Structure 1
């Protein structure tokens, strides 16, 4: 990639988000509400550029931040959902063994020699999210989302160091592949375990707090246009009250959106005790939590939530 092309790509990104205020406005246009702290962290991740680690409870919008950023930059989002036991084959690449066997058979039919170099070339790669992000041709960098990195093993964390530090990955048969447009890397964590210092040192960091009822209602209204403002506010108040209990799985914003969506389908514009009891499965999804909420009673749940 020429220096002029790289400069042009950087200038294009700068035109789209020249400052933090512009990023907040652009995210808002894409129905993602970011406060100044989060917007500043994302802005720096794009402009430095530097990987960013977003931490917070489940359902506070970490994954959605990456999706909204990719959308406003009009660039692909490559998402890797992490889990215990994930390895390089699922994250970076695998060899297409079926295609390699077909290549061998075709060579036999043609009475042609097949070398290891022939079978282990770019045409035989199955590209996974990390390699796809590295090889993205532009013009703007892709967004690479390593979602719930805390669920992966420490060994997988170490595997990502080269990517985070150098925007490069190494494939033994092909050598090191470097990004012409280094991806914007966003890692998310629900803090199910502590991440290694070597990983966090490579990243910017931002903790996303759970929003208050007013912000929850605003998000819900964006995602469920069919719902009324009062219903969204009441649902947000109920969710906030639920989160004051010692629940194993406190409901998040995604549960609030699901609940209001269900209420809108049912034609309900006000949450009373009966409605809350009948639809509680949209927001409380653990048997012990259901028992805890049931002990408080549906009347307690909706008391003082309808303004």
Structure 2
């Protein structure tokens, strides 16, 4: 249940939006806060691109919390099609309804067929659910994992927030959802979709901001440990690894260290907890071989 709904028009400036995000432990820099503010005010989707773990998905979640609106997430993957994103018919319930009607002696085939495609038998998938839920935040996560055909379909939906269901007619959003589209840039997303959106590239945070994020999200963390972890994360990101750590990984790493009672980043303890921050064996071996943990 959502106790407080904040209208986008109630957020006067990018600075005020940054303050609201900060109240929910998301620290947005001026560029991101401005892009997000403009997307809200202009009613445009926000396209966030950047490496995994820099806070793209987390921004959508936090924005939903700020607005007091449900987050509706469409996780993209290879082979995702319109039916899986829009709606499906509940064939099991339709069959039960048909059997119940036959048991009562119903013989009007046309009426029975019309009843089978009633709204109550429709299962709303994320896109339809977002159009029917006001207000809502629609997160289209990792669009770069979907196929080109789905990209084109999504562009059509985002153009007018309207879908057509042959059996029921046209469904349009009375109030379009706030839309956040994310990409890890595993492939290039078509310009047509990007043109429909406001675009922002999320970088890995600077040292001071990453320290602030660690302290904000993990209050039990010391400034010493936060600084050492952020400094180590910066070295790992410049080491040419297969998968450099994002903020999500540095948070996991810091939490793992805190769970083990660490007050600072001891190289030995850091080495035994690398699985929290590096998820490829080759990366872990390279870090240990090059002594990147001995400069904390």
- Check conservation: 2:98, 2:112, Cα contact below 8 A: no
TM-score, normalised by the number of residues in structure 2:
0.94
Task: Give the drift of 1:129.
Answer: 1.0
Gaps of 5+ in 1: 1-8
TM-score, normalised by the number of residues in structure 1:
0.91
Tell me if 1:46 matches 2:40: yes
Tell me if 1:117 matches 2:114: yes
Tell me if 1:14 matches 2:6: no
Give the corresponding residue for 2:249: 255
**RMSD over equivalenced CA pairs, Å:** 1.4
Q: Which of 219, 223, 226 lines up with 1:225 in the alignment? A: 219
Give the corresponding residue for 1:129: 126
**Equivalent-residue separation in structure 2 for 1:215 and 1:36 (angstroms):** 12
Tell me if 1:69 matches 2:63: yes
Give the corresponding residue for 2:210: 216
**Equivalent-residue separation in structure 1 for 2:115 and 2:81 (angstroms):** 25
Gaps of 5+ in 2: none
Moved over 3 A (4+): none
Task: Give the drift of 1:162.
Answer: 2.4
Deviations 1:195-244 (A, max 9, x none): 11221111111111111122111111222122112111111111111111
- Check conservation: 1:276, 1:302, Cα contact below 8 A: no
Task: Give the drift of 1:184.
Answer: 0.8
Tell me if 1:154 matches 2:148: yes
**Equivalent-residue separation in structure 1 for 2:226 and 2:87 (angstroms):** 44
**Equivalent-residue separation in structure 2 for 1:101 and 1:267 (angstroms):** 58
- Check conservation: 2:54, 2:204, Cα contact below 8 A: yes
Tell me if 1:266 matches 2:263: no
Alignment of 1:288-307 (within 5 A): 288-297=282-291, 300-303=292-295, 305=296
Task: Give the drift of 1:24.
Answer: 0.9
- Check conservation: 2:271, 2:293, Cα contact below 8 A: no
- Check conservation: 1:79, 1:147, Cα contact below 8 A: yes
**Equivalent-residue separation in structure 2 for 1:58 and 1:195 (angstroms):** 16
Task: Give the drift of 1:77.
Answer: 0.7
- Check conservation: 1:52, 1:203, Cα contact below 8 A: yes
How many residue pairs are counted as aligned between the two chains?
289
SS at match of 1:301: coil
Bigger mean CA deviation after superposition, 219-228 or 204-213: 219-228
Task: Give the drift of 1:99.
Answer: 0.5
Tell me if 1:23 matches 2:39: no
- Check conservation: 2:136, 2:177, Cα contact below 8 A: yes
Task: Give the drift of 1:294.
Answer: 2.0
Q: Which of 92, 95, 107 lines up with 2:89 in the alignment? A: 95
